[in-house]
Structure 1
Amino acid sequence: MIHGNSSCKEVFRNQYDGAIGRDYRCIAMDLPGHGASDDAADPERTYWMPGYAEAAMQVMEHLDIPAYAVLGWSLGGHIGLEMIGRTDAVTRLMISGTPPFEMTKDSVDRAFRDTPHMHLAGQRDFSAQDVTDYARSTCGENAPQEAFLHEAVARTDGRARERMIDRITDAAAVDQRRAAAKANIPLAIVNGEEDAFIDNDYIAAISYDNLWEGQVHRMVGIGHAPFWEVPELFDPILRRFLG
C-alpha cells in the first residue's frame, strides 16, 4: 500500500486493520520524507517517481517477498505504474486518484484539474492554512478529518513535493499513460467522482489492454481518497480485485 503526496501509511488503516488485513498480508510504508520515514539522504535521487519506486521495491526485497499486489493512491498510484515498468514482482495493480499521463506538460495539464489547491502539490513551504487546505482536499471534503492526516502534511519534507513536480515529465521516468495502457497484469482503477485533483474523463478515455472488469470504477459523490472516505464501499471492490 503506497500513500499519496504529503500523506502517510496510516491513511490505509481501515484496510490493514480491518477485514482486508485479516485475510491478506498488508504492507504499508511511509515514503522517504513522509510519516515516520527519514528525509531522503539524497533528495535528487529519491524524491521523484523512479526514486520512490526503487524504495518500495527495496522494501519488498528486504522482506523477501518476491511477488505482490500494489494498491497505490494518488502519488502512490504513479509509483505503482513506475514499478510495473521496472519489475515483474508486481502481480496486479490498483490505482486510485492517479491519472496516467504522457511525459509532456500538455498531457499533465489535461490529466489534472486546475483547482484552487492543486498548486500546493509542488509547493515546498506550507503555511498552517496550506496544511489544512491540502489535507482537506486530498482526503475529500466529506471524509473524516483526523489529526494524523494534517500532521502528515505538516511533517512532509517540502523538498519532496518540489522535486517530484519539477521532474514529473523527466524522460528517465516511465511513461505513465503507456504503462497503464499496455500493462500486462490486471490494472484496476477506482476513483472518486468528486475528486478535486484528477480529470476522470481523461482517465476513462484511455484505451487499456488489461483493465480489470473492463471499466474505470467511478464512485459517485466521493472525493480523492475513496478507501479512506468510504471503506465500506471501497473494500468490497479491493477484495474482489485481490481474489
Structure 2
Amino acid sequence: MKATDKKIDTRHGRIRVSDTEGAGLPLLFLHGAGTCRKVFERQCRPHLLERTRIIALDLPGHGDSDDAEDPEIAYSLTGMIDTIDEVLVSLGVRQLAIFGWGLGGHLAIEMLGRSRLVEGLLLSGTPPVSRGLIGALRGFHPSVDLLFATKQHWSEREFKRFEQLCLGHSATPDIRNAIARADGQLRSIFSQSIIRGDGHDQRRTVLHAEVPVFLVNGADDPFIRRGYVAGFEDHARNRFVELIEGAGHAAFREKPEPFNGLLDRFIDKVLENRSDKTPRVAASRQAG
C-alpha cells in the first residue's frame, strides 16, 4: 500500500496513521485487540485503492502508537472513540465508511451510534451485542479462551493460544511483535467498559442503521455465535450476513480473496446508498 505514514497528537497520546490520501471514499480500518494497522495488508489491492482513501491507524496502546498516560480514561470505549475522532478531524475527514475487526468493530458501531457521518459498516468478528454481561453472552461463546482475551498479563502459553485463536496460521513476524508489544491494560479496561454498557446499545444501533451494514465472519470463528449474527440479516434494510468457509476469527487474512470480494460489494453498496440520497438532498435544498 502506497501510503503516507504520520503521527498525530491527541489528548491520549500520539497515534500512528497510514493514509493513502486522494479523493476516493474514506475507508477507515480499525484493528482488533492486540494487533495493529498492518493486519489489513491483504486488503490493500489496486482495485480498492482506485475507489477509496484508506486510513489505517494503530489504536492507543498498540503498534507504533503511544501507550496511554491515563489508561482508565483512554482505554474505555468513550476514550478510544474520542481519540479516533481527533485523528479524523486532523486528517480533514468527515463522512466515511468503516471496516472494523473484533474490538475495532465495536468501536465502529459506537461511531455509527454517535454520528450521521458514518456511511457504512463492515464488521468482522464483532457480534453487535446489547448492553451488559447477558447481552454480551448472547453474541459470544462463553469460554476460558474468551476470558483470558480480557486479561492484562499473559503467560507464554496464553500468548500463543491468543495468536492461534485470533489469526490461525496467518500471523507474520510483524503481527506477532504487535501482539507482544500491546498494552495489556487495554484488554481488561475495554472489556469492562463494554460489559458495563458504556456507549450506545450496539445491537439496537445496527438494527436501526440507515446505512449499509455487512457482517462478514469466518465459519469457524471460535468466539462468536453464528446463530446470533444470522439474525441481523435484512436485505431490505441493507444488512447482509456472510460466512466465509475455512476461515476463523481473522477471515480477511485467512481467506483474503472471498473476503475482498465482499469488501468490494460493501463499497458498492455504500456508494450506491450515497447516490440514492443525493437527489433527495438536492430536492430538499431547492424546496427550501
Give the TM-score, by structure 1 length: 0.92
Number of the residue aligned with 1:63:
91
Indicate how the Cα distance of structure 1 residues 234 and 123 shifts in structure 2: closer, same or farther if over 3 A, else same: same
Measured against aligned partners, the alpha-carbon deviations of 1:165-192 in whole angstroms (never above 9, x if no partner) come to: 1221334411111111111211111111
1:241 to 266, 276, 285: 266
Q: Match for residue 200 of structure 2?
A: 174
Q: 1:36 aligns with which of 49, 52, 64?
A: 64
Q: Within the alignment, does 1:223 sit opposite 2:251 as a pair?
A: no
Q: 1:209 to 1:19 in 2, by over 3 A?
A: closer
The residue identity in structure 1 corresponding to 2:176 is H
Q: How many aligned positions are there?
A: 240
Rounded Cα–Cα distance in structure 2 between residues aligned with 1:210 and 1:130: 43
Q: What is the aligned-residue RMSD (CA, Å)?
A: 1.8
Matches within 5 A, 1:188-203: 188-203=214-229
Listed one character per residue, the Cα deviations across residues 145-171 of structure 1 (whole Å, up to 9, x for unaligned) are 212222111111111001011221334
Looking at structure 2, the residues matched to 103 and 162 of structure 1 have their Cα atoms a distance apart, in angstroms, of: 17
Tell me which structure has the larger Cα radius of gyration.
2
Query: Is 1:126 the counterpart of 2:154 in the alignment?
Result: yes
Q: Distance in 1 between matches of 2:210 and 2:235?
A: 8
Structure 1, unpaired ranges of 5+ = none
Query: Which deviates more from structure 2 when the two are superposed, residues 55-64 or residues 15-24?
Result: 15-24
How far 1:103 sits from its partner (Å)? 0.5
Partners of 1:209 and 1:54 lie apart in 2 by 32
What 5-or-longer segments of structure 2 have no aligned partner? 1-28, 269-288
Q: Percent identity?
A: 34
Contact 1:72 1:79 in 2 (8 A): yes
Given the superposition, is the C-alpha separation of residues 22 and 115 from structure 1 closer, same or farther in structure 2, using an over 3 Å criterion? farther
Question: How far did 1:8 drift?
Answer: 0.6
Change (3 A) 1:211 1:125: farther
Greater per-residue strand proportion: 2
